[in-house]
A and B are shown apart, each in its own frame.
Chain A
C-alpha cells in the first residue's frame, strides 16, 4: 500500500518534471504556472473558509498585498527577490492578523461584508497612492529571480512555482490533519461549543487569517515576479469571487477540492475560448448546476469512484 502510493507520487513527479521538456508552447507553460499560483492562493482560502468557516470575500486583497509588497521591496528598496518574497509573506500574514482583530466578533454575512470592504479599501489605496504604487498605471519592470546571475526563464519559473505549490499543498494537508485543523473545523462546526471545549476561538480565527495570508502572500509574490507587471486591476473583488467559486466548486473543507476547483475555473476560459464573452455565462450555469446537484462540491468526502469498493462509513469519516 505504501509502496503503491510512493510509486504514484514518483510518476506524478516525473510527469511534472517532464512537462517543460515535452511541451514547447509558451502559452501552455504560462497556464501551468498560473495554475500553480492559483493553487497556492486557493489553498489559503481553503484554510480560512473551508476549514475555519470564515466567509472571506477579500482574499484577492491578501494576494495583492503579497504582490505589491514583493514588487515594491524589489523595485524601490532593491531587496533580493528571495528576501522580498519573505517580506511579502510576512506582510500578508500581518494583514491577515490585522483584519482578524476587528472583524472577529462578526459572523456569517457580516464578516463577508467586512472582508469585502477590506478588499475594496486595499484596491482603492493601491489605486490612489500614486507616489508609492503609481496608482492605476501599475508597477512595470518587476525583476525576475536570478540564479548564478541568470534570470529565470519560463521553464525555471515553472519548476519553482510547482515546487512551491507542492510545499504549500503538503503544508495544507499537514495542517488539516493536525490539532490545528481539528480546532479550525471545531470553530467552523460550532464556535460556541468549541470555546466551551477550551479552544481559544479568537486566537485560532486570527491564526486562520494569518495562515491564509501566508499562502496568498506567497502566491502574490510569485505572480508579481512572473508577469513582472502588476496593477490594482489584477486584484479586484471579481478575483475574490472567483476564488470563492473555486473553493465551493471543488468542495470546501477538503484540501484537494479547491485545487481542483481552481484547475477547472482557470482552464475553462482557456479551453473554451470559442465562447468568447459567453464563457462567464457558461461558468455561471455550471456553478448553479453544481450547487443544486452537488452542493458539497465536486471533491467532497463522500465521493464514490466507480472503481472503488463499497464505501466504508468508518473510513469515510476519517478520510480527509
Chain B
C-alpha cells in the first residue's frame, strides 16, 4: 500500500532545476531514506510535500489526495508532519508550548472555547497531556518548562521530533535528524526512528547524511543528485551502485587525483 505517491515532481527556481522529474512511491509503515550530496534537492522535495511552494510540474498525492496547491497547515492536518534541517523551534516559547502547538490543528479549538470554562479546560488539558506524552517518548519531559532554545542541540532536535509526532501524523518527514548529535545520541535516535515505524506504525521519510544511520534503519533508499533520482531500492543494492558512489565521491576527481600522483 502506497501512502505517498510522487509522480514526476518538478520544481524550478528560474533556470535552476532543484527537483527535476522525480518519481517515487512511498510504502506505508516503512522507513525510506533520501540521500544525496548537498544541493541535490532533498530538502526541496520535503518542501514540495509539505506545501511550501507549488509544483512546477507533476503531482504529489498523499493517501489518494493531491497535495498540489494545498496550504502547509492543511497538509499538516491531513497527517504529514516534519522537522527541519536547521532546527526551527519557537525561540520565545517553552519546550512544552512548542510541542503543544503541534497538537493545535488536531484539536481544532474554536474561539468560543475561550469563553466556556469547561471547554477551555478540556482543550488546554488535552493539549498539555498529549504534549507531555510526546516529550516523554523522547525522554525530554523533565525539560518541559525550559525555554526550548536553551537546550543543547541534540535535545532541541528531539523537541522538534516530539513536535512533529504529537499530532499523530501518518507520515513523518525527518530532515537530517542526527545532525549535530554525538554518537550515543545518534544511536538512540536510530532506535527511536525504528520505534516510530514498529510501535507507532507510522511511515517515515528521512533525509540523512550519516551513512551508518542510513544503512541501519532504512527499508529503502532513494538517491537524488542534481535534482534527479539516480537510484532507488533496498540499502545494500543502492549503496553499492556505481552511480551513487560516483555522486558521493566524484569519480572524475578521484581519477584526476590518481593521475596527478
Contacts and interface: CB of A to CB of B under 8 A. Distances in A.
Interface of A: 174-175, 178-180, 182-183, 185-186, 188-190, 192-201, 207, 253, 313-318
B105 A180 contact: no
Contacts of A200: 71, 73, 105
B167 A189 contact: no
| Top 9 closest pairs, chain A to chain B, by CB | A198-B105, A198-B76, A314-B145, A189-B90, A317-B94, A195-B72, A317-B147, A193-B88, A200-B73
Nearest to B107: A179
B93 interface: yes
A253 B90 CA distance: 14
Given A179-B124, A182-B97, A314-B145, A199 B71 contact: no
Q: Which of A188, A198, A207, A313 has the most CB of B within 10 A?
A: A198
Nearest to A177: B124
Contact of A198 (B95, B106, B123, B124): B106
Contact of B167 (A174, A198, A314): A198
B50 interface: yes
B73 A178 contact: no
B88 A190 contact: yes
B114 A174 contact: yes
A316 B124 CA distance: 20
A317 B146 contact: yes
Interface in B96-148: 97, 100-102, 104-107, 109, 111, 113-114, 120, 123-124, 127, 145-147
Contacts of B146: 313-314, 317
19 contacts: A178-B114, A178-B124, A179-B109, A179-B113, A179-B124, A180-B109, A185-B92, A186-B101, A189-B93, A195-B76, A197-B73, A197-B101, A197-B102, A197-B105, A197-B163, A198-B77, A313-B146, A315-B145, A317-B145
Nearest to A315: B145
A300 to B, nearest CB: 11
B114 A199 contact: no
Contacts of A175: 114
B91 interface: yes
Contact of A186 (B50, B82, B90): B90
Interface of B: 50, 52, 71-73, 76-77, 81-82, 84, 88, 90-95, 97, 100-102, 104-107, 109, 111, 113-114, 120, 123-124, 127, 145-147, 150, 163, 167
Secondary structure dominating the interface of A: helix
A313 B94 CA distance: 10
Contacts of A201: 73
Nearest to B76: A198
B145 A198 contact: no
B76 A197 contact: yes
Secondary structure dominating the interface of B: helix
B111 A180 contact: yes
Given A195-B76, A197-B76, A197-B105, 8 more contacts: A179-B100, A179-B127, A182-B100, A189-B93, A195-B73, A196-B72, A198-B105, A313-B147
B104 A197 contact: yes
A180 to B, nearest CB: 6
Contacts of A194: 90, 101
A251 B105 CA distance: 30
Contacts of B72: 192, 195-196
Q: Which of B123, B127, B147 has the most CB of A within 10 A?
A: B147
Contacts of A199: 73, 101, 104-105
B145 A182 contact: no
Nearest to B80: A196
A183 B90 CA distance: 11
Nearest to B144: A314
Contacts of A183: 101, 104
Contacts of A195: 71-73, 76
A182 B82 contact: no
A214 to B, nearest CB: 12
A97 B101 CA distance: 24
A199 B127 CA distance: 14
A201 to B, nearest CB: 7
Contacts of A186: 90, 93, 101
A190 B167 CA distance: 19
B152 to A, nearest CB: 14
B242 to A, nearest CB: 37
Nearest to B114: A178
Contacts of B88: 190, 192-193
B47 to A, nearest CB: 10
B75 to A, nearest CB: 8
Nearest to B95: A317
A192 B76 CA distance: 13
A261 B109 CA distance: 32
B136 to A, nearest CB: 17
B25 to A, nearest CB: 23
